[in-house]
Every structure is written in C-alpha cells, then in structure tokens.
RNA sequence: GGAGGUGUAGCUCAGUUGGUUAGAGCGCUUGCUUGACAUGCAAGAGGUCGUUGGUUCAAGUCCAAUCAUCUUCACCA
C-alpha cells in the first residue's frame, strides 16, 4: 500500500487525471435509448476571449450538474463550443492589421476572411485549453463553432424561414451606429450612462419677423439636419407660431414650426428642434409629419457635405465651432449644464450615433408571445425564480431586433439583389437569375448577421438542426442552461423564442442563473480597472479543486459573490485535510485488507454513528443538488468530512486501529474506507480531481469515480438509536473538554471521571465508551454509578440531560471563579425555563401549536428545571468548601 | 419613472416550506511538536438578524411602511 506525501499537491495530479479521463472517453455522450438523457449546452465563449472568473463559475456549475447526473446513470451530454463574436473578433483582426499598415478594404473581403480564419485557428483553441484546466467534463468530440458548416447552414435556414413567414424584413429605420466599429448594433448592445453635458439654448429667427424662437438642445451639431421646429399643440405661448417658418441658423434654410404631442411644455423652452436623421424620437415625429430626413454625418461620425463649412470635422469639433459661430451671431441665448444619458457601444465604449439606414430586422412581437407563454406555463423555469420576471419584463416590450452588421466576419446575409430591377431574393444559395426580370446581374447583401442570431440557435443547431439527427431527437430539448443574469436579454431570451419558433419546443427546462464574480472590494472585474483575477493563476497556486470550492461554497443562486483568496485557501486546506485523512486510512491498511467477510455484528457505536450520518448527508446533499442548491450541498459535504468524519470518527476509531489484535479492527477499517469512498463520490462533482485521486487509491472496484454510481442512502446502515448513544458520549467528551479548558487544566493532567445516572441504558452506554474518554477526554479511567454516594465530595460537576459527570480536581480549581461561572449558568437555565414556561402558560400555544412542539416545550421546561436544581445544589456544595 | 436585489458576528457570506439556545469560513483570544494533517488539534469571545408597525400560539424567515445601498430597463430635446 502506497503511503502518500504529507501535503496534497494538485499540480502533480490534475493534468494527469484530466488526460486520463479524456483518453478513456468518459466525457463522450451516447444517444443510449436505454437511459434517460441529460443535456447541458455550454454557453460558447468568444474565440477572442481568455478564461475569466465568469467562465470559471459558469463551467464549474455545469460540470457539477453533469458529473452528478452521469454518476446517477443518465446519458449525459455537455456540449462545448465557441462563438465567432463578429464585432470583437473583427475589431481585433483589424487592429492587428493596422499595426502592419494594412486596411481591410485594401485587401478585400475574401483576403480578409482568409486572415480571420487563420486568426481563429491560431487563437480559437486557447480558451478550450483553459476550460479543460477547470476540469470541465464536456464532450469535446462534439465541440462546435458558430461558423462551422453545420451551424452556418442552420443560420441560413433560420433566416429563410423567418423571412418567408414575414418575420424578417428589410427597412429604413433609425438604428444605433457605432462609428468606431463601423456597424449598426442592436438596442441590447448599447450601454447608457449618465454624463454631464449641456443644454444649448439657440435662437432660431422667425421668417419675415424680428422675433426668435429659442430651442434647447443637447446636440447643437445636428442642427444641420433639422427639418422642423416643434411645439406642444396645447402650448399657448407658441400656438400662433404653428404653421409659420423659421430660418435655420448657419444653414439659412426655411423649416416649418409644427405641433406634436411629443413635445413637453415644461422642458427647456418648450420648443424642440426636430432632426429626424439623428434622434430616434425626432425620427418618429418626422414620420408623423412627413418631414425630410437630412443626414449630417458620415459613418465615422465626421460631418458630411450637408454640413457645408463644417464638413469633414469630427462631430465634437464641429459642435465647438458651430457654437462659437452661433455665439458670434448672438444666437446663443444661454448654456446650461445638463445631466443626461449617453449611449455607448458595449464593445468599444465609443459614443453611439443614432443613424437612419436600411437594415434587416426581426419582427419581435409574434415571436415574443409564445416565448412568454413557455415561461408562464413553466415549461422553462428560471432558478432562482425571480429572474423569470426580469425575462418577462424584457420580452413583453422589446423592439424589433436589428440583425444586420456592417462587418465581414460572420454569417453573410443570404439576401440577393437584382441590380436591374431591385428585386430582393432570399435564398440558401446565389440565384442564377432574377426571378422577376431574369437578369443575371445579381449581388449578395454585403452585410453579416448579428452574432446573437447564430447563438440563438445554439441549443439545437449544435445537435444537427435543421436535420433530424439522432442527437437532436435524443438530447433535445436540453435540461439546464447555466448562465449569468447579465446575459438574459442578449442570449437566453433569444434562444427561447428561437427554440420555440424553429423546433416547437422550448430549448431547456431550467435556466440556472448565477451572479457576477466581483473583486474583493465588490467591484465588477474589468479590463479597464485592471482588477480581474486570472483563474489560471489561482489554479497554479492552489489547484482547480480549491478554485471550484471557493466559487461554490457559501453562495446562494443568483447572487453576486466577491472573490477572495482566503476562500480559495479554505478550499486548498480542505483538499489537504481529505488527503491526510486518506493518508491516515492507508497507513493503517498494513496489507491489502480483505473485506469480503465483514460482519455488521462487529460494528460498534462509532461505526454505526458515522454510517447513520453518512446516510443523512447522502440524502440531504442529493436533495440540495436536485434543487440546484449547490452551495448548501457543498457546505454539508465539507462539514461531514471535516467535522464528523475527521474530527470525530477517525479520532474515535484510533484506539481500535492501534490495537492490531482487536477482533473488530477490520470492520473499522472497512467503515473508514466505505465512508471515505462515498464521501468522495458526493464531493466528486464539486472537486473532481482530489476525489478521483483518493478514490483510485482506495478503490479496487471501478477504475474511475467518474463512472461510479452516485451514492444512495442504505437503510440497513441506519442506526439512529445507536447514533444517539454515540451523541451521549460525544456530548460528554465536549463538556469535559470545555470544563477542563475553562479551568485551565493541562491536557496531560489525567483524572478519573465519575458518571452518575439513574438510567441504566445511559450507564451502559457510557461504561462501554471508556476508551473514548481515555483517548479524547484526558480520562485515566471512568466509573459509572447509579447514585452519588461514592463521588468524592470535592468534585467538579457537569450536568447533562439524564446524567452527571464528576471530576475530582479540587486542587486545580479556583472556587470563587467556579461559583461565578455556575451562577451565570444558573441564570441562563432559569431564563430558558421561564421562556418555556411562558409558552406553556399561553393557552393559544398549547391549543394551536402541533402536539410534538408542545411536548418538546414541556420537555425543555423539565430539562431546565432539573438543570437549575442541579446547578443550585452544586453551588451550595461549593460555597460550603 | 418602471422592475428587481441586498442590509445577519470585526470582514466575506449561508440560513430551503415560519418552529429547540441564529451558523460557516477568515480574523481575534487561550492552550497544544496528542503515533493523518500547524494547509493542523482543542477551547473561547463576538450578533437587540437596517428601522418601525402588522399577521401568528410562534417572525432572521410572511405582510406593510421607511432608511441605506446596488443592479437593470425605459427615458424629455
């Protein structure tokens, strides 16, 4: 039998075990009709990304669920993959090309895509390797990429279906434009932040009059595109102006004064300039009043030719100059500081520009309805449930989704335009000729689709949809989706409506939501703050198991957690504890013990006690895990292993183990191994590496804990009554230690311990436990009596329910201190007694509360009443000394 | 403005459907080279569960109000 090192070294085993698992094919899923499927789709990380704490917690949770279900005998599939992340990836490639002095337009689309694929080959596998470091037991043979052939086919199919149903349309609308990324982005991709700006009050001269109207605006530079000035129809101050014209300063153009409900009388001057091309609200007003749309800017947010002398200037530079020119013309009435929300691109953080342009949209209303229904009908449940409200809230009033992106890296929109007649053809391949005018002069749409359009199909496209593959039929719909709450709108919502639309089924029955991992100060981890903690650093310092422990323990679902290294240390210490417990067990297996003829008749109270506890922890942990209460489950495993198994059971069996002639020694070894093995099985989903290493060094049955079966409580191991006896001994030991510590008695100082009880069963239990008192309570020997006649008069007493303990330690005791202590204890007992008494005197309690509770109050009253008498007696004895 | 979260020991957080004397990790105090482990063992101090009402025999837990704090959605130029 090998003897382990005294310290657990995760580095020495983690990589080895992971490659063993992979080699053995344990991660591979099989569509096995004899078993029930359990499927989890990994949220595909971005190929440009590197592993961060968000991935770490997300993948740990998935791995926990998958490993448990695998052990429970399900046919488990955890399907991994990566996402092409069009904006982020294209930005990175453009940036790296810029360093070489190359612009993407110089080399053209085809050449650019070649580079992009090369880039993906080079960096796309990095995150995969990092996920393996986390111990993720996903089926790498089924790994998918959102731009691989099958998934691209699914995207085209989905687009065509929606188009044919009229749920995808092309239209000119005002969208969010990122001038740096050079593309449109969806509403969800804009982040709003309160920023200090200004309100410029600008005087617009009224045509043919000497009067002005003053408009207030936060964006003076867009006045180039003004096509009207609006007032509220009920605003008496301005009623007379409606229908007249004003002269747009700097441009010297006539624009009308119109009346529209949208204008708030009380804001600013009550007069608004209307710039349909540069403001979403103005765009709507423009539609209502048939106003022309005049665009003042280029795609890179410089002013365009419509801006005349300001043409070519950046939008903010143009603002400065225009304001200056207006001031010179005495057309600025005043400038006020003004706080307002400014939208910026979630990828590059530059300020987003509302822009009118022709884009493709998904019509949301018809898709949202069934997606709301599946959640209302609980076909998909959010855990914790409060997140369903957040989902429903968003889903119930979401706008049409802008899906076209002015990028090259992504799925090119399968729409073709006839250059001659303008006909639009949506098709899975380039048509030979226009189906209207027969022209062969046909061009494909230049744009690509929003990455989320393809991620939305992830739960089924990865299984082969639109083909009816065996995998799709067996593994779909999936069971659990694990993700952070920050991505409900982006992704979860879109997967649900897509799944319902294309497959007729909700893609997953449970959405398990977790919070964000924050830094030690509670701040969001971000690149710009530089406060991110690299999971790989933590792994190399403490091991993967310790990291996983720190992310799960003491956490409740959906709540953010602060990352702290001391928690990781706690995980590492726990691993070390387990390691050493195993080391201890193995050291006592002097030869390979033969457990084939174990007799339960040789189980003594400690064996019966730990087996009873094991049963309980198996049941509770399984229940907690089924309810996704992972933090509670791990906490219970931790307490079981550390407190019950190590601190108590191992200590209790030591005397037996050291006595090689003891006929019950083998049974103790058996129970040690049995308990440890089962504890490792419970722990395995959480801390896969150490549990496997321990299992393999103990087990002679199965080759890996991964494919062993999940523990089930064994009724024949329930010794509840015996466990109670053990509790009597353990409580006594604790009280004796406690007392000795209070009295500052050294551990080495042994004594005789006397027990007195009129209960024969208690007397027997204690008598049989002598060895434990000797080992764990500094006893020289013990004596058990029915009454106090033979107890030395000058003894320290401990009063426990049903019995008393005496230690003849008069010479070591400070009597005054002891009296003070007992007086305190007396008061406490009286307080508890009165508490119980007041309950029992309350007729409502006695009549309405459940009988067992009333009984337990009665017992409690009796217990404290007895206790108080005993204490009083002891006090009187002491005072006489 | 809408929606939601959080507030429990010095710190970070658990506390499942209301039910013994409210828990853990870390930190702190005291004592231990106890034949697995100092990444350890034993003992201990420390909490009027944000505040105020209410429901109930019984509230950290349910309800209402209030304060503080955070997130998110939508926004008046």
Residues A366-416: tens digit of each pLDDT: 999 999 999 999 999 999 999 998 999 899 888 899 999 999 999 999 999
Give the C-alpha separation, A568 to A547, whole Å: 6
Using the CA of A262, which nucleotide's C1' is the nearest one? Answer: B76
pLDDT at A873 over 80: no
Residue A786 pLDDT > 70 = yes
Return positions of chain B under 7 A from a protein CB. 2-6, 12-16, 19-21, 23-27, 30-32, 34-44, 56-58, 72-77
Closest nucleotide relative to residue A744's CA, C1' based:
B31
Tell me: cis bond preceding A466? Omega within 30 of 0 counts: yes
Concatenate the DSSP letters of all residues of A809-847 into one string.
-GGG--HHHHHHHHHHHHHHHHHHHHHHHHHHH-HHHHH
Half-sphere exposure of A843 (CA within 13 A, CB side): 0
**Cβ < 7 Å from strand B, A residues 608-627:** 624, 627
Q: Which of residues 134-163 of A touch strand B (CB under 7 A)?
A: none
What ipTM, to 2 d.p.?
Answer: 0.95
Whether A278 shows a pLDDT value over 80: the answer reads: yes
Can you state the angle between helices A493-503 and A365-376, rounded to 10 degrees? 100
Interatomic separation, CA of residue A773 and C1' of nucleotide B6, rounded (Å): 47
Among residues A491, A870, A515, A696, which one has the least CA distance to residue A2?
A696
Tokens standing for residue A637: 């495993």
CB atoms inside a 10 Å sphere around CB A82: 25
Top pLDDT among A124 and A331 is at A331
Residue A864, judged by CB atoms within 10 A of its CB (0-12, 13-18, 19+), counts as buried
Name the residues in A197-226 having a C-beta closer than 7 Å to nucleic acid strand B.
216-219
| Strand B within 7 A of A504 CB | no
Residue A343, CA: closest nucleotide via C1'?
B75
Q: CA nearest A717: which of A611, A796, A620, A592?
A: A611
The integer distance in angstroms from the CA atom of A848 to the C1' atom of B54 is 20
Q: Which single residue has its CA nearest the C1' atom of nucleotide B5?
A: A559
- Chain A 641-660, CB < 7 Å to strand B: 642, 646-647, 650-651, 654, 658
**Residue-wise pLDDT tens digits, A488-514:** 988 999 999 999 999 999 999 999 999
Answer yes or no: is A385 CB < 7 A from strand B: no
Point out the nucleotide closest to A279 (alpha carbon to C1′). Answer: B77
Task: Tell me the domains of chain A and their CATH numbers.
Answer: 183-354 (3.90.740.10), 544-718 (1.10.730.10), 750-761+777-880 (1.10.287.380)
Residues A340-361: tens digit of each pLDDT: 889 999 888 899 999 999 999 9
Q: How far is CA A488 from the centre of its chain?
A: 12
Please provide residue A649's backbone torsions phi and psi, each rounded to the nearest 5 degrees: -60, -50
Q: Is the CB of A834 under 7 A from strand B?
A: no
- Look over chain A and give the mean of its residue pLDDT values, rounded to a whole number: 91
A531 φ, ψ to 5°?
-105, 15
Place of tokens 């043979």: A141
Residues 512-551, chain A, CB closer than 7 Å to nucleic strand B: 522
The pLDDT of residue A549 is above 50:
yes
Q: Which of residues 388-427 of A touch strand B (CB under 7 A)?
A: 389-390, 393-394
Which residue blocks in A305-461 are alpha helix, DSSP H? 315-328, 365-376, 386-396, 451-455, 458-461
Protein-to-nucleotide distance from the CA of A777 to the C1' of B31, whole angstroms: 15
**What kind and span of H or E run contains A414?**
none
At A486, which helix (H) or strand (E)? none
Q: Has residue A824 got a pLDDT over 60? A: yes
Task: Say if CB A551 and CB A696 are below 8 A apart.
Answer: no
Ramachandran angles phi, psi of A510, nearest 5°: -135, 135
- Who contacts A771 (Cβ-Cβ below 8 Å, separation ≥6)? A655
Residue nearest to nucleotide B38 (CA to C1'): A573
Q: Is the CB of A278 under 7 A from strand B?
A: no
Chain A 712-751, CB < 7 Å to strand B? 734, 737-738, 741-742, 744, 746-747
pLDDT tens digits along A43-101: 999 998 899 999 999 999 999 999 999 999 999 999 999 999 999 999 999 999 999 99
Nucleotide nearest to A740 (CA to C1'): B43
Structure tokens at A89: 């990836």
A865 Cβ nearer than 7 Å to chain B strand: no
Question: Residue A179, Cβ neighbours under 10 Å: how many?
Answer: 21
* Cβ A489 vs Cβ A401: under 8 Å: no
Give the model confidence (pLDDT) of A702-737 as tens digits. Answer: 789 999 999 999 999 999 889 989 999 999 999 999
pLDDT at residue A796, rounded to an integer: 81
**Residue A860 structure tokens:** 């409690």
Predicted local distance difference test score (pLDDT) of residue A1: 44
Give strand letter and number of the nucleotide nearest A569 (CA to C1'): B39
Query: What single-letter DSSP state applies at residue A746?
Result: -
d(C-alpha A83, C-alpha A827), whole Å: 67
Is residue A802 scored above 90 in pLDDT?
Answer: no
Query: Picking from A395-399, A718-722, A767-771, A833-837, which range would have the lowest pLDDT averaged per residue?
Result: A833-837
Q: What is the pLDDT of residue A819?
A: 73
Choose among A714, A633, A674: nearest CA to A65: A633
| Angstrom distances, CA of residue A394 to CA of A90, A188, A225, A235, A260 | 29, 11, 33, 35, 29
Say yes or no to pLDDT of A2 above 60.
Answer: no
Residue A812 has pLDDT above 70, yes or no: no
In the prediction, which pLDDT does A818 show?
Answer: 67
Question: In terms of DSSP H, where are the helices of A72-169?
Answer: 86-99, 104-123, 126-133, 149-164
Distance CA A752, CA A203 (A): 101
Strand B contact residues in chain A (467-486), C-beta within 7 Å = 486
Full DSSP string of A851-869: HHHHHHHHHHHHHHHHHHH
The better pLDDT of the pair A183, A835 is held by: A183
Helix (H, G, I), strand (E, B) or coil at A246: strand
Q: How confident is the model at residue A807 (pLDDT cuts 50, 70, 90)?
A: confident
From residue A163, give the alpha-carbon distance in Å to each of A157, A178, A424. Answer: 10, 26, 11
> In sequence order, what are the residues at sequence separation of 6 or more whose Cβ sits closer than 8 angstroms to the Cβ of residue A103?
A97
Q: What percent of chain A has pLDDT over 70?
A: 98
Going across the sheet that includes A424-426, the strands are: A424-426, A415-418, A442-444
Distance in angstroms (rounded) separating the CA atoms of residues A576 and A546: 10
Q: How many CB atoms lie within 10 A of CB A101?
A: 7
Q: Which residues pair with A340 in a beta bridge?
A: A195
A86-99 and A104-123 helices, crossing angle to 10°: 110
How, if at all, do strands A144-145 and A81-82 pair?
A: parallel
How distant is C1' of B69 from CA of A561, in Å? 16
Q: Which of A176, A310, A137 has its CA nearest to residue A706?
A: A137
With CA atoms as reference, report the closest residue to A160 among A538, A420, A486, A413: A413
What contacts A212, CB < 8 A, 6 or more positions away?
A203, A204, A205, A206, A331
């Amino acid at each position: 039998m090998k003897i382990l090192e005294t310290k657990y070294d995760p580095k020495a085993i983690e990589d080895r075990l992971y490659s063993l698992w992979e080699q053995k094919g344990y991660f591979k899923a099989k569509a096995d009709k004899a078993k029930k499927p359990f499927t989890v789709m990994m949220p595909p990380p971005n190929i440009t990304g590197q592993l961060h704490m968000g991935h770490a917690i997300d993948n740990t949770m998935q791995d926990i669920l998958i490993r448990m279900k695998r052990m429970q005998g399900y046919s488990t599939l955890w399907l991994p993959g990566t996402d092409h992340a069009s904006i982020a990836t294209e930005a990175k490639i453009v940036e790296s090309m810029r360093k070489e002095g190359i612009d993407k337009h110089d080399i053209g689309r085809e050449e650019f895509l070649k580079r992009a694929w090369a880039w993906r080959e080079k960096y796309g596998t990095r995150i995969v390797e990092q996920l393996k470091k986390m111990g993720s037991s996903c089926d790498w043979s089924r790994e998918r990429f959102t731009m691989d052939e099958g998934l691209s086919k699914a995207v085209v199919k989905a687009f065509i279906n929606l188009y044919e149903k009229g749920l995808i349309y092309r239209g000119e609308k005002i969208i969010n434009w990122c001038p740096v990324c050079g593309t449109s982005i969806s509403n969800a991709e804009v982040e709003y932040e309160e920023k200090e700006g200004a309100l410029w009050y600008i005087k617009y001269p009224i045509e043919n009059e000497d009067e002005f109207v003053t408009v207030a605006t936060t964006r003076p530079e867009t006045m180039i595109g003004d096509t009207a000035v609006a007032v509220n129809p009920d605003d008496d101050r301005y009623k007379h102006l409606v229908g007249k014209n004003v002269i747009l300063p700097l441009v010297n153009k006539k624009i009308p004064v119109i009346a529209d409900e949208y204008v708030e009388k009380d804001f600013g001057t009550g007069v608004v300039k209307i710039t349909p091309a540069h403001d979403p609200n103005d765009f709507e007003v423009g539609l209502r009043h048939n106003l022309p749309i005049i665009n003042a800017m280029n795609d890179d947010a410089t002013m365009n030719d419509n801006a005349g002398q300001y043409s070519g200037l950046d939008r903010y530079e143009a603002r400065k100059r225009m304001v200056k020119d207006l001031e010179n013309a005495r057309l600025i009435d005043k400038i006020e500081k003004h706080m307002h929300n400014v939208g910026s691109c979630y990828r590059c953080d530059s300020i987003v520009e509302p822009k009118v342009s022709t884009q493709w949209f998904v019509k949301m209303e018809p898709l949202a309805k069934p997606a709301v229904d599946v959640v209302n009908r609980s076909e998909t449940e959010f855990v914790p449930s409060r997140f369903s409200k957040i989902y429903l809230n968003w889903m119930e009033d979401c706008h049409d989704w802008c899906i076209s992106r002015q990028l090259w890296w992504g799925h090119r929109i399968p729409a073709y335009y006839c250059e001659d007649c303008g006909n639009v053809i949506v098709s899975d391949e380039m048509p030979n000729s226009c189906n209207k005018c027969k022209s062969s002069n046909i061009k494909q749409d230049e744009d690509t689709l929003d990455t989320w359009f393809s991620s939305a199909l992830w739960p089924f496209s990865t299984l082969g949809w639109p083909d009816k593959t065996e995998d799709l039929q067996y593994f779909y719909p999936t069971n659990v989706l694990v993700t952070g709450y920050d991505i409900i709108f982006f992704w979860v919502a879109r997967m649900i409506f897509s799944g319902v639309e294309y497959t007729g089924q909700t893609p997953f029955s449970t959405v398990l939501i977790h919070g964000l991992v924050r830094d030690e100060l509670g701040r969001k981890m971000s690149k710009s703050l530089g406060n991110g903690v690299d999971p790989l650093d933590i792994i190399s310092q403490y091991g993967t198991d310790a990291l996983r422990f720190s992310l799960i323990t003491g956490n409740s679902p959906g709540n953010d957690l602060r990352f702290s290294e001391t928690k990781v240390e706690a995980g590492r210490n726990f691993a070390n504890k387990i390691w050493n417990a195993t080391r201890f067990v193995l050291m006592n297996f002097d030869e390979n013990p033969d457990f084939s003829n174990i007799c339960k008749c040789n189980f003594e109270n400690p064996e019966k006690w730990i087996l009873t506890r094991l049963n309980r922890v198996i049941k509770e942990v399984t229940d907690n895990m089924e309810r996704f209460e992972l933090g509670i489950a791990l906490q219970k495993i931790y307490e079981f292993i550390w407190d019950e198994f190590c601190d108590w059971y191992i200590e209790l069996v030591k005397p037996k183990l050291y006595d090689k002639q003891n006929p019950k020694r083998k049974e103790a070894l058996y129970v040690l191994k049995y308990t440890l093995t089962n504890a490792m099985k419970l722990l395995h989903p959480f801390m896969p590496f150490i549990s496997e290493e321990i299992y393999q060094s103990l087990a002679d049955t199965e080759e890996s804990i991964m494919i062993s079966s999940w523990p089930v409580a064994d009724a024949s191991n329930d010794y509840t009554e015996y466990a109670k006896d053990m509790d009597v001994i353990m409580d006594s030991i604790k009280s004796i230690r406690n007392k000795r510590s209070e009295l500052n008695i050294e551990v080495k100082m042994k004594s005789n311990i006397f027990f007195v009880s009129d209960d024969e069963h208690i007397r027997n239990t204690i008598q049989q436990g002598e060895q434990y008192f000797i080992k764990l309570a500094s006893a020289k020997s013990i004596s058990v009596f029915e009454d106090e006649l033979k107890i030395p008069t000058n003894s320290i007493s401990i009063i426990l329910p049903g019995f008393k303990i005496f230690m003849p330690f008069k010479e070591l005791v400070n009597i005054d201190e002891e009296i003070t202590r007992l007086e305190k204890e007396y008061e406490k007992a009286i307080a508890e007694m009165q508490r119980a008494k007041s309950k029992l005197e309350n007729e409502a309690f006695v009549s309405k509360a459940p009988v067992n509770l009333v009984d337990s109050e009665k017992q409690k009253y009796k217990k404290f009443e007895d206790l108080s008498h005993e204490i009083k007696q002891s006090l009187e004895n002491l005072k006489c000394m």
